[in-house]
Amino acid sequence: MEALQKLGRMPTGLAVPAFAILLVIFGIPIVQLFLISVNAPSFSVVNYRAFFEQGATVFVLFQTIEMSVVATVVCLIIGYPTAYLIVAAPKSVRTTLIVLVFIPWLTSGLVRTYAWTVILGDHGLINNLLLHLRLISDPLPLLYNRLAVYIGMVHITLPIMILPLVSVMQGIDKSLMAAARSMGARPSAAFWRVFFPLSLPGVRSGTLLVFVVCLGFYITPQALGGLRDAMLSNFIAAQLASSLSLAPIAAAAFILLAIAVVMLSIFGLDVSGTPHETAQPLRKSSPYRLRALGRLLQYLYEIGIRYRANRWTVHLYQPIGNSGRSKIVGAVFVLLVMVYLLFPGLVVVIMSFSAGPFLEFPPSGLSLQWYRSFFGDPSWTLAFWDSLQIAVTVAVLSTVAGTLAAFGLSRTYPRLRVFLMMVILTPITLPAIVVAVAAYLGLINLGLIGTKAGIVLAHTILAIAYVVVIVAATLANFDRRLEQAAKSMRAGPVRTLVRVTLPLIRPGIIGGAVFAFIASFDEVVVTSLVSGFSIRTLPLKMLENINQQLDPTIAAVGSLLTLLPVLWLIALYLTWWRSKLKLQGASANQIA
């Protein structure tokens, strides 16, 4: 009882708005969904049995798992050496590379998928080039097959593999490798006996994240794959569009959810055993993405502090062998990965400025005609304004609710915090299609299907997760004694918050808002389910056009969707950089 009263006095209550939204849009519907899937109140497994008795659905299920496993393995094979080489690179190069990996992660997956249709299509970049060089007489069937889907999936998930790997590898004390070598270990032995075991937590989080994201893939198989390359998400979305009964859909969603949850609980919950993680209780407590994101913030900080003394040990004990040839091989490898990650987005942006009557690459001339056609077409501008309005509303709503929640959670019992943090992260941890179906049901409950308010709420549960992650990471670095200091100088709780706490965590709040905006502006899976044909957001309209392949204007749309987040990112970086500068002191050498 006393504990309960104490809890009431803590600012945990600040988390209520965020959890209320989550409960209404996601929590209650997911329970409902489960009840529907078991035909409550009669409770039977008939829907699940039906799922497994149908050859087609079982086929799709196994195909989903197979494709997810293949994509994850390929990601790991490409991602591990890439992360290793990034960490081994000199500091300035390293920071640049991390940002280059980070940028595609932030830009719209839809646009990047579209880019592959442009590159791989019958009249796409590769075929045109080969035809032009007269190496082939007919276009190669590069698109609409399994390989294209893998290319697209790996392209989208690779950053999610690399970033956690880099963050863990950066935390590995390089002197350990030197120590191993001083004890007579050859470089390869030092790597396999020391570095690799220590990097396993990164392998685990990266693999897990990628796998769960892959399970929920929806657009990529649809846009790049053939008819036989459908995944469970496509099946669920198709059912939702055609079928009247929710029960089979609910069962399918829960089967997908079950796979994700089993994977997460087997490999995800054990976060012990890595020294640098235990040093950061908050990061340890909240899995995967939180850790990755917290680190991401640090990367962005790091760009700004060039003047900081170089960590000479890093240079001295670079884990990679120093022979010239291995350096060149490494550099070429990283270059290829970067091209793979960045080129498709770049193609879209460049192509959108082409002057010809069709999309072409490289463009024969530069013009803004596709942008003119974009801004001249009311259906596009309407979609743009709708997207903008929705994204701004989501950003405001989720930043307020998310910041309050992060603040409340930072002041509660550690165990409760871990649990609540996991709950609030579920919308971005589970396969997107499951969240989408739940949100669909939630909005039906509220009668908000096909309204802007409905889309805003559905996006908000995703965006809140990002805001909470980023603000919580900032709060974890915030020295609570500063609040005590303020209070000891007669500042009450409110004045302490306004004068001390908020100004100091402002970079985190702004970062959260930017992420929330981007998350909403790019969102397409959830939106496609809950928009109910009456509202077309920009990505949604673009998705339709990708399938129809009619309007070259979508290159301009894709370019806007790519550039806007990047612009935001630059703005965000400048904000952080400035505040960092201010806190660090403009000139380190003034410190006597």
Binding stretches for other proteins (CB under 8 A): 479, 481-482, 484-493, 495-496, 499-500, 503-504, 582-587, 590-592
The neighbouring-strand residues paired with 354 are 366
Q: Which is nearer to other proteins, 72 or 496 (CB)?
A: 496
CB of 145 within 8 A of CB of 226? yes
Least spacing, CB of residue 414 vs other proteins, in Å: 14
CB of 430 within 8 A of CB of 29? no
Least spacing, CB of residue 531 vs other proteins, in Å: 43
CB of 232 within 8 A of CB of 61? yes
Least spacing, CB of residue 486 vs other proteins, in Å: 7
Q: Which is nearer to other proteins, 123 or 499 (CB)?
A: 499
Q: Which is nearer to other proteins, 325 or 490 (CB)?
A: 490
The neighbouring-strand residues paired with 366 are 354
Least spacing, CB of residue 148 vs other proteins, in Å: 51
User: DSSP class of residue 588?
Assistant: G
Q: Which is nearer to other proteins, 333 or 478 (CB)?
A: 478
Position 265, amino acid: S
In SS3 terms, 472-510 reads as HHHHHCCCHHHHHHHHHCCCCHHHHHHHHHHHHHHHHHH
CB of 309 within 8 A of CB of 71? no
CA angle 555–556–560, rounded 5-degree value: 115
Least spacing, CB of residue 591 vs other proteins, in Å: 6
Tell me whether the omega of the peptide bond preceding residue 344 falls within 30 degrees of 0, making it cis.
no
Q: Which is nearer to other proteins, 293 or 504 (CB)?
A: 504
Q: Which is nearer to other proteins, 227 or 586 (CB)?
A: 586
Rounded CA separation 433/431 (Å): 6
What distance, in Å, lies between the first and last C-alpha atoms of the chain? 54
Nearest CA to 109 among 266, 216, 230, 27? 216
Least spacing, CB of residue 482 vs other proteins, in Å: 5
Rounded CA separation 361/129 (Å): 10
Q: Which is nearer to other proteins, 438 or 486 (CB)?
A: 486
Least spacing, CB of residue 2 vs other proteins, in Å: 11
In 411-451, alpha helices (H): 414-429, 432-446
Least spacing, CB of residue 589 vs other proteins, in Å: 10
Least spacing, CB of residue 500 vs other proteins, in Å: 6
Nearest CA to 223 among 539, 564, 562? 539
Least spacing, CB of residue 574 vs other proteins, in Å: 17
User: DSSP class of residue 15?
Assistant: G
Q: Which is nearer to other proteins, 13 or 585 (CB)?
A: 585
Q: Which is nearer to other proteins, 258 or 502 (CB)?
A: 502
Q: Tell me the DSSP string of 124-161.
A: SHHHHHHHHTTS-SS----SSSHHHHHHHHHHHHHHHH
Other C-beta atoms lying within 10 Å of the C-beta of residue 311: 10
Q: Which is nearer to other proteins, 311 or 495 (CB)?
A: 495
Q: Tell me the DSSP string of 231-255.
A: -HHHHHHHHHHH-S-SHHHHHHHHH
